[in-house]
Amino acid sequence: MSFLEIFKSVDINKELNRCRTTKGAILLDVRTEEEYRQGHIGGSRNIPVEKIGNAVNLLHDKSAPIFVYCLSGQRSRKAVSALRKLGYTEVYNIGGIEQYQGQLQRGKR
């Protein structure tokens, strides 16, 4: 990742459209379990960034496209980097849910 990528703005709404039209895509929320229960994007899975090492037990296909979000985009950036180090090849930071314009789902996964 280059220095300028840190400041690059990502439109979560546009990226969600890309996720939803990508065959086999996984939408991954890396916020805490409590944040996830309070409201998440429908169809997403939750693996808190602190537990991203557990991804290998839950996300078996390392070539599957994974679209990662959090609250603001900071934790998702860290998660994307960690997932790439674990061998996942198609991982994308789609930013923060705070910019999401759709309806949120509440409760557990």
User: Does the annotation count 19 as an active-site position?
Assistant: no
Cβ atoms < 10 Å from Cβ of 28 = 26
* Catalytic residue selected from 41, 68, 70, 94: 70
- Would you please indicate which residues are annotated as catalytic (active-site) residues? 70
